[in-house]
Amino acid sequence: MKRLLLLCFLFAIGSIHSQASLRSMTPELDDALLWEISGNGLTNSSFLYGTFHTMNGTFLDSVPNFYASFSKVKQVVAEVDMVNQEIISPKPEDIMSYYMPKDTTYQMLFSNKDYKFVDSCLTTKIQQKMYSVLKPAYTSFMYTLLSTTNIKNSDEGLDKFIMTKAKQNAQKVVGLETMEEHMKLVYGFFKTMCAGSVKDQADLLLFELRNPELSKETMDEMESLYRRQMLSKLMEPSQKMEGKIKEFFPQYSDEKVEEASEKMMADLVDVRNDNWLKKIPAIIKENPSLIIVGALHLTDEKGLINLLRKMGYTVKPVK
C-alpha cells in the first residue's frame, strides 16, 4: 500500500507537472522538447511537443522554432480538448471514495502533538472543514499541488495556453481522448490513491509535511531540467526522492504491491500511448498537426518518439 501511496505522492509533484516518473528511459534521446514528424507517406511534416502541464505559456518563447513550427500546422492535437469541452464532474461513487470513513477522524490517526502540527501546516492552504472530511491521501494531493504549482490557474498552463492560441489562430483543436475518457482516468486514479489504510495515508502525509523541502527541491529540479529541455533526465529528481522516502518507509518489498504500482503507471502512460498511436497516423495524414502531450509520453522504449519511429516515421528534434 505504501508504494502505491508513494506513486500518488510523486504523481502530485511530478506527473502532474512534467509527467516524469520512476521508469527507465530508453532509448537515449536528444535534449529537445519539440520534434518533427515526417516521412512514411506524409506530404507535410507534423510536430510533437512534450509539455510541462503547469509551466507558464511564456516559456514557449525559449523553445527553438516553436512558433515557426506552430504556424505550419492546421490543428493542435492534445491529450484532451480543453477549450471546447467542459470538465465532467465526478460521479457520486467517485466522490464518496475520497471521503474519510464516518468512524474515523484526523485526531485518531495522529498523536496530539502530530495532529497539531499537521493541522497548522494544512490550514495554510486548505480550510480545516474541508480537509477534515477527506482521506489523507487526497488531502496530501491537494496540499502538494497547491504548494508547488507556480501558476495562478490552468488557463496559464502550457497545454491550455497552446490550445487557446490555436483557437485564436483559427486552427482546429483535437483531443486524443474525450473529456469523459480523460476524467474517468483521473477520477479512477484518485480512487486508487484513496484506497486502503487511512493510517498508511496519514503516515505519508505527516512525512510530506515534515519534509517540505523534499517537494520543493524535487519540483525545482524538475522545472530546471525542463527549462533546459533535458528530456532524457526528467525522471532523475523523482528517482532521488523515491530513495529518500524509502529510507523513511522501508516496507517496499511486497511483490503484489510492486505489480499493482507498475500496472497503475502503465495505465497512465503506456496504455494511453498505444491508444493514441491508433489515432495519430490518420490525424497527421489528413492535416499537419502539432501534438502536445506530457513529456513522459515522449520518452522510454514505449514512448511516442520510439513508437512512431518503429511505424516508419522520421522523428527528429527541432533545433
Q: Which residue has the higher pLDDT, 14 or 220?
A: 220
Which whole number is the average pLDDT over 185-206?
86
Task: State yes or no: pLDDT of 186 exceeds 50.
Answer: yes
Averaged pLDDT for residues 84-88: 86
Are 234 and 18 within 8 A, CB to CB?
yes
The length of the chain is: 319
* pLDDT tens-digit readout, 11-35: 443 343 334 444 444 556 788 999 9
* C-alpha cell at position 70: 506552430
Whether 47 and 35 have beta carbons less than 8 Å apart is answered as yes
- In tens, the pLDDT along 237-258 reads 877 776 676 666 655 445 555 5
Residue 151, pLDDT score: 46
**What does the pLDDT read at residue 60?**
95
Residue 272: pLDDT over 50: yes
Predicted confidence (pLDDT) at residue 150 exceeds the cutoff of 80: no
Question: Measured between alpha carbons, how far is 50 from 19 in angstroms, rounded to an integer?
Answer: 9
Mean per-residue pLDDT for 71-86?
94
DSSP lists the bridge partners of residue 99 as 134
Q: What are the cell numbers at 261?
A: 504500482
Range 97-116 burial, b when 16+ CB lie within 10 A, else e: bbebeeeeebeebbeeebbe
**307 or 142, higher pLDDT:** 307
Residue 2, pLDDT > 50, answer no
Q: What pLDDT does 310 receive?
A: 96
pTM summary value: 0.85
Residue 58: CB atoms within 10 Å: 10
Residue 246 has a pLDDT of 67
Whole-number pLDDT of residue 115:
97
